[in-house]
Amino acid sequence: MLAAERRDHLLALLAREGKIIAKDVAAELGISEDSVRRDLRDLAGEGLCQRVYGGALPVSPAVVDYHARQAVAPDGKRKVAAVAAGLVRPGGALILDGGTTALAVVHALPQDLACTVITHSPTIAAALLDHPQAEVFLLGGRIFKHSAVACGAAAVEAAQNVSADLCLLGVTGVHPEAGLTTGDPEEAAMKRALAARAADTYVLASSEKIGTASRFRVLPFEEISGLITDAAPHDPVIEQLAARGVEILMTD
């Protein structure tokens, strides 16, 4: 039995049963309890489970499935998310896009921050369950599988009924000419609808997206307040955007 295989088995078991008992799974797989404990310790270190006396429990039952498949957010995204989280004012209202970067923003928010979060992502909504002071409003609609967010006419319509101080948007491309782009027209429309409902809109773009473009335009640069990125300090694309009046927030 491969180590990675064992890890997968543990995560699957955790998702299915809601718990892991070290002794039982060791017997089941025919390996020592020590190995199970070591694996559980590692998984807990990555935030994929919660170690308890005798075994392990899901870290947060609702999102464990998602986490198991979604590797931990890479460093760049975490840094971008931390800067973005700093823009959120206590008591304010935040429109939060879907995607892994947005999920990282949730994790970067103080646990007890009191604010209103409006989102079209069930994943984000589920992740916010352990922020007891956060008021969450979910925009419903047809769920687009590939991005795991609500889109379409119903979702855009639902967005018309909200407003916020700040909107944090993820995109897949940031290109001097193409502007801010994403890969799906429905998603692009939804992002536009979200941005239109906030006083300020900041775009989250980890470095690998700078200079690339996808097929569908979300917004021109003129319509956003700023860009949050971990790109190199003197990236030519970034400097060009700064010259065009886009506020640039760099991670350090």
Residues making contact with its own copies (CB under 8 A): 2-5, 8, 15-19, 21, 50, 52-55, 57-58, 60-63, 65-67, 69-71, 74, 107, 120-123, 125-130, 132, 135-143, 145, 148, 150, 154-155, 158, 161
CA distances (Å), origin 21, targets 12, 13, 37, 57, 68: 13, 10, 10, 9, 18
Pick from 19, 35, 122, 225 the residue near DNA by CB under 7 A. Answer: 35
Pick from 8, 27, 41, 223 the residue near DNA by CB under 7 A. Answer: 41
Place of tokens 């957010």: 73
Least distance (Å) from its own copies to the CB of residue 36? 14
Rounded-to-integer distance, Cα 112 and Cα 110, Å = 6
Pick from 38, 89, 142, 215 the residue near DNA by CB under 7 A. Answer: 38
DSSP state of 107: H
Nearer to DNA, 33 or 157 (CB): 33
35 binds, among its own copies, DNA, none (CB under 5 to 8 A by kind): DNA
Residue 7: exposed, middle, or buried by beta-carbon count in 10 A (0-12, 13-18, 19+)? middle
Q: How many CB atoms lie within 10 A of CB 215?
A: 13
Angle in degrees, CA 125, 192, 249, rounded to 5? 80
Residue 101 has φ and ψ, to the nearest 5°, of -65, -40
CA distances (Å), origin 218, targets 18, 64, 241: 40, 31, 16
31 sits near DNA (criterion: CB under 7 A): yes
Piece in contact with DNA (CB under 7 A), picked from 46-54, 73-81, 114-122, 218-226: 46-54
Least distance (Å) from DNA to the CB of residue 74? 18
Residue 28 has φ and ψ, to the nearest 5°, of -60, -45
34 sits near DNA (criterion: CB under 7 A): yes
Nearer to its own copies, 152 or 211 (CB): 152
66 binds, among its own copies, DNA, none (CB under 5 to 8 A by kind): its own copies
Residues that bind DNA (CB under 7 A): 3, 6, 21-23, 31-35, 37-38, 41, 51-55
